[in-house]
Structure 1
Amino acid sequence: MPILQYGQIAIEWRFQPDSKLKRHYVTVERGRPVLLRGPAVSKAEQEALVRHRARWIRDKLAMVNQPLRDDAIVTGSRLRYCGRTYFTEVRHVPGITQARLTFTASRFVVENPDGSSIPHDAISSLLESFYRERAHEKLLQRVRHWERQTGLQSSGARIRHFESRWASCNADNVLEFHPRVMELATTVQDYVVVHELCHTVEKNHTKAFWSLVAQHLPDWRQRHAALEQATFGDAI
C-alpha cells in the first residue's frame, strides 16, 4: 500500500473506488490503513487528496490509536449526550435478564443484572439504542425546522448506522443521520442538518456549497470545527 510521509508520521492508505460517490472521503480507524473512497483517480491524485487532509489524518490517528480503556462504567462515570457529559448511576438489579439504560433530566441510570459495573462495549450498545430513539424524537424535528427556515427540501430523513460517517444526502435527496449525532451539542447537530440540506442543491463541497451553508449559518466555521473533534471520517 502507498505511504505518505508527513512530518514524523507515515500515513499508509488504501483506495476503494466507488463510482456512486461524487466526492472523496477519508476514514481513519484504529489499527488500519487510512481508507480513501470515491471516484477512480490515479495514484498521484490519491496522494494529493491524502496530503490535502494530512494534518487532519495525523490528529485523528493520534486520537483513535490511544490505548484502549479497560475500566468499566461504574456509578460516578459520565456519559455524553447533546454535547454534555452526565453523571451515571449503575445499579445491580439481579432480577432482570439484560442491562437497561434510562435517562432523566440530570443523569443516566444503568440497571445491570451482572453487578455494579458494566463494560464499555455493553454501554456502547445501550447508548446507541438510546441515541437512535432520541434522534427519531428530536433530530428529525430539527430537519423539518430547518427545511422551513432555509426553504431547502429533502425527500425524507431517517436514522441509519454508518461505519464511519455522521450523515449523508443520497442521490434522491434523502437525508440519513447516524444515531451518534445525538452525542453532539445541539448547535452542531443543527450544523449537520443544514450541511446535508445544502447537499440537496450542491452535491459537492464547492465554493457555491459553502456559500449556501454560510447563508443559513453564518457561524458555520465554529460549528464545523467542533464537529472536527469527532473520530468519524471526513469528506474532502
Structure 2
Amino acid sequence: MPVLQYGQTIIEWRFQPDTKLKRHYVTVERGQSVLLRGPIVDEALQETLVRRRARWIREKLALVNMPQSAEAITTGSRLRYCGRTYFTEVRHCPDLSKPRLTFTASRFVVENPNGISIQPDALMPVLESFYRDRAHDKLPSRVRHWERQTDLKAQGVRVRYFQSRWASCNAQDVLEFHPRVMELSSSVQDYVILHELCHTVEKNHTRAFWALLARHMPDWQRQHEALEHTLYGDAI
C-alpha cells in the first residue's frame, strides 16, 4: 500500500477506481487507511492528489483517531446546531416508546423513556431527524436568496444522506444537502449553498469555477477552511 510523509505524519492510502465519478475524493475514517476514489490514475498522480490534501488529511486523522467517548448525554451536555452548541436537558419520560427531541431557541430537550441519561447512538436518530426537518424548512429559502443575489438558478432542492459529502449538484442542477449541514454556522451553510449553485454553471472545480465563486463570495476561502474542520470526506 503506498505511503507518503507529510511533516511528522505518515499517510497511507488505498485507491478505489470508480469510473462513474468525474473527480477524485478523499475519505478519512477511524482505523482505516486514507481512501482515494475516482477515475483511474497511476500511482504517481494518486500521490499528487493525496499530497494536495495532506494538511486536511493530517487534521482529520488526528480527529477521527482520538479516543471515542462513550459518555452518556445528560442534563448539562451540549448539542450542536447552526454553528453553536446548546445546553441540553434530559427528562425521564417512561410513558414514551422512544426518545423525543425538541428545541426551544435556547436549549435542547430530550425526553427519554430509559432514564435521565441517553447514549449517543440512541440519540443520533432523533437528532438527525431534527436536522433533516430544519434542513427542509430553512435551506430552500436560503437557496432562493442566493439565486436572487447571483442570477444562478437551481432546478430544485433536496435533502438526502451522503456517505462523505455535505452537498451535491446533480446533472439536472438539483441541489442536494446532507441533513447535518444544519450543524454548520449560517455563513458556512451559505458557502455550501453558493458552492453548489456555482456548479449549475461550472460542473468541475476549474479556475472558472473558483473565479465565479469568488465573484459572489470574496471570503469563500475562510468559509471553506471552517468547513474543513469537520469529519466528512472531502472532494478534490
- Per the normalisation by structure 2, the TM-score is 0.97
1:195-234 to structure 2, matched below 5 A, reads 195-234=195-234
Structure 1: give runs of 5+ residues left out of the alignment: none
The residue identity in structure 2 corresponding to 1:21 is L
What is the aligned partner in structure 2 of residue 32 from structure 1? 32
Residue identity matched to 1:43:
E
What code does the residue aligned with 1:199 have?
Answer: H
CA apart distance, 1:7: 2.6
- The Cα shift of 1:170 comes to 1.6
Could you tell me how far apart the structure 1 residues matched to 2:135 and 2:203 are? 24
Deviations 1:76-134 (A, max 9, x none): 00000001110000000011110000001110000000000000111222111100000
- Please tell me whether residue 9 in structure 1 is matched to residue 9 in structure 2: yes
**What's the counterpart of residue 172 of structure 2?**
172
For 1:92, the equivalent position in structure 2 comes to 92
User: Where do 5+ consecutive residues of structure 2 fail to align?
Assistant: none
Kept in 2: contact 1:22–1:203 (CA 8 A): no
Q: Whole-Å Cα distance in 1 between the matches of residues 72 and 127 of structure 2?
A: 14
Counterpart of 2:8, as a letter, is: Q
How far apart are 1:8 and its partner, in Å? 2.4
1:203 aligns to what SS in structure 2? coil
Please list, as runs of the form range in 1=range in 2, the aligned pairs for 1:38-53 lying within 5 A after superposition: 38-53=38-53
> What is the DSSP-based 3-state SS (H/G/I as helix, E as strand, rest coil) of the residue aligned with 1:129?
helix
Alpha-carbon distance in structure 2 between the residues aligned to 1:140 and 1:56: 30
Per the alignment, residue 110 of structure 2 pairs with 110
> Matches of 1:186 and 1:115 in 2, distance apart?
34
Aligned to 2:119: 119
Query: 1:54 Cα shift?
Result: 1.0
Is the 8 Å Cα contact of residues 167 and 192 (structure 1) preserved in structure 2? yes
Tell me which residue corresponds to 1:182: 182
Separation in structure 1 between the aligned mates of residue 156 and residue 139 of structure 2, nearest angstrom? 13
Q: Tell me how large the CA RMSD over aligned residues is.
A: 1.1
Q: Percent identity?
A: 72
Deviation above 3 Å: which 4+ runs of structure 1?
A: none
The corresponding residue for 1:65 is 65
Deviation at 1:182, TM superposition (A): 0.2
Task: Decide which moves more: 89-98 or 26-35.
Answer: 26-35
Report the alpha carbon displacement of residue 5 of structure 1 after superposing the two structures with TM: 2.4
3-state secondary structure, aligned to 2:60? helix
What is the CA–CA distance in structure 2 between the aligned matches of 1:61 and 1:48, rounded to whole Å? Answer: 19
What's the secondary structure of 1:19's corresponding residue? Answer: coil
Out of 118-127 and 194-203, give the one that drifted further.
118-127
Per the alignment, residue 130 of structure 1 pairs with 130
| Aligned partner of residue 127 in structure 1, secondary structure | helix
Instruction: Quote the offset at 1:9 in angstroms.
Output: 2.4
Residues 43-77 of structure 1 deviation map (CA, whole Å, 9 limit, x = unaligned): 11111111111111011100111100011000000
Question: How many positions carry a matched residue from both structures?
Answer: 236
Aligned to 1:83: 83
Amino acid at match of 2:145: H
CA-to-aligned-CA distance 1:186-225 (integer Å, 9 cap, x gap): 0110100000000111111111111101111111111111
Secondary structure (helix, strand or coil) at the match of 2:226 reads: helix
SS at match of 2:132: helix
Give the C-alpha shift of residue 39 in structure 1: 1.3
How far apart are residue 6 of structure 1 and its match?
Answer: 2.3
Structure 2 equivalent of residue 146 of structure 1: 146
